[in-house]
């Protein structure tokens, strides 16, 4: 495994890559409040055939805490700079939630760096009804001075299958730890970035092979919402992971990993 730290806008951005030399690269970008370790169960499924590059987005994991606002396009530029640091010209890109939003910006603004894109439980514009939830969480954190751990149970209750804590308590605690380790400013400023994006009116510019993966039980981005991307991106495929919520790679890892691996292997890249 090779760990690389780069600097952008005064922030250290951390990533790591592992897998066979000269193999195709799969880049994994995590959801808001999580970090690159959220993909742990997937890495061993891919590294026999691919190099797997995992990033910690600004304000998450080991990457620096932002002191200024940023956009989803800024996060995409961070990924491009990370690819450069690892000498990767083009990559398969897999993004969950916030990471998937970064995938839209990459596919639209940096198509030459993409081999394919997989959107996991994400959307290209946030419905107005969801703005209130993000802003309420952000304002509560700022006004109370409490850490992200104060939101962890509420976030997981919204995002996960209700039985997940009983089915896999260790995995539940790992997610809690990741949420608790996210910086407050990282959460708040990424929330502002999410509310400012709009990729849904530019879907015709996504021209790379595309996979859409939804969780059957996902409340924030239900399968009906994600069918927009299957239907409006040329050639896009879609899979719905049975029994999964907003983090299908966590609560249904075997089904998720098979689905993603099958898509990647179907591509002639």
Q: Spell out the domain ranges in the chain.
A: 2-265
- What sign results for the dihedral spanned by CA atoms 109, 113, 118, 122? negative
Cα→Cα distances 132→126, 137, 153, 192, Å: 11, 9, 18, 12
Domain 2-265 has CATH 3.40.50.1820: yes
pLDDT, residue 144, reads: 85
pLDDT, residue 269, reads: 53
pLDDT, residue 265, reads: 96
- State which residues of the chain have pLDDT below 50: none
pLDDT, residue 132, reads: 83
pLDDT, residue 134, reads: 81
Task: Give the chain's end-to-end CA distance (angstroms, integer).
Answer: 23
Torsion angles phi and psi, residue 242, rounded to 5: -60, 135
- Which pair of tokens denotes residue 35? 């970090």
Q: What are 68-125's pLDDT values in tens digits?
A: 999 999 999 999 999 999 999 999 999 999 999 999 999 999 999 999 999 999 999 9
CA distance 236 to 30: 21
* CB atoms inside a 10 Å sphere around CB 168: 17
pLDDT, residue 139, reads: 81
pLDDT, residue 99, reads: 98
Reading across the β-sheet that carries 210-215, which strands appear in turn?
A: 2-8, 11-18, 51-55, 25-29, 91-96, 114-120, 210-215, 237-241
Report H helices in 86-123. 98-109
3-class DSSP state of 159: helix
0.75 cut: is pTM over it?
yes
């Amino acid at each position: 495994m090779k760990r690389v730290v780069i600097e952008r806008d005064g922030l250290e951005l951390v990533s790591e890559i592992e897998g066979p030399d000269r193999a195709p690269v799969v880049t994994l970008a995590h959801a808001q409040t999580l970090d690159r370790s959220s993909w742990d169960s997937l890495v061993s499924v891919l590294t026999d055939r691919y190099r797997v590059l995992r990033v910690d987005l600004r304000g998450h994991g080991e990457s620096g805490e932002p002191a200024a606002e940023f956009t989803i396009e800024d996060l995409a530029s961070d990924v491009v700079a990370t690819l450069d640091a690892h000498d990767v010209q083009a990559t398969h890109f897999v993004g969950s939630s916030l990471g998937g939003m970064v995938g839209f910006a990459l596919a639209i603004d940096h198509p030459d760096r993409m081999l394919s894109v997989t959107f996991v439980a994400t959307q290209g514009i946030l419905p107005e009804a969801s703005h209130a939830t993000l802003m309420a969480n952000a304002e509560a954190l700022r006004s109370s001075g409490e850490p992200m751990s104060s939101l962890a149970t509420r976030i997981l209750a919204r995002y996960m299958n209700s039985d997940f804590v009983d089915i896999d308590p260790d995995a539940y605690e790992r997610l809690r730890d990741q949420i608790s380790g996210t910086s407050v400013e990282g959460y708040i400023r990424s929330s502002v970035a999410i509310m400012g994006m709009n990729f849904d009116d530019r879907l015709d510019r996504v021209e790379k092979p595309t996979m859409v993966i939804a969780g059957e039980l996902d409340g924030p981005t239900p399968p009906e919402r994600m069918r927009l991307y299957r239907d409006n991106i040329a050639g896009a495929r879609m899979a719905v992971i049975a029994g999964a919520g907003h983090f299908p790679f966590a609560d249904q890892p075997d089904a998720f990993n098979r689905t993603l691996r099958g898509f990647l292997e179907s591509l002639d890249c």
